[in-house]
Amino acid sequence: MDPLETLLDADVMLTLEQWAEWGDPASDEANYRCLRSYSPAENIRETEYPAIFAWTALEGADVPAACAAIWIAQLRERVTSDPTQRPVLLRATPTMGSAGDPRVEGVAWLLDQLGAVTLGE
């Protein structure tokens, strides 16, 4: 979740309630700067990053899929490591309960990244 992106959008479910706890970054410059200081998409440097497998749901009430998509796009734009050796991937499922659990895919992807051999070899 990108707190800055989410809290700037009053249409996101729970944003208005969260303003009471986090503050409204659209109307408070200090609050905006504070949230921006640790917002994932705003703090990506041009450097080498490890391989990344992120996942999100297209239909979700809590966190918009755009948060993950923006973060991944920013990473892809700024990463200096070889994308064939350290890919930056985003898996989007229709809903959190969709068939094909991304966590299982993530474990398989991690094993591949670590160079694990396939069963039977």
Q: Which pTM value belongs to this model? A: 0.74
Q: Which long-range contacts (CB under 8 A, 24 or more apart) does 39-43 make?
A: 39/2, 39/3, 39/4, 39/5, 40/2, 40/71, 41/2, 41/4, 41/5, 41/67, 41/70, 41/71, 41/74, 42/4
Identify the pLDDT of residue 20: 81
The mean per-residue pLDDT over the stretch 101-112 comes to 83
Beta bridge partners of residue 57, listed in sequence order: 93
Is 80 exceeded by the pLDDT of residue 10?
no
Residue-wise pLDDT tens digits, 79-95: 999 998 899 999 888 87
Question: At 30, is the pLDDT very low, low, confident or very high (cuts 50, 70, 90)?
Answer: very high
The mean per-residue pLDDT over the stretch 10-39 comes to 83
Identify the pLDDT of residue 13: 62
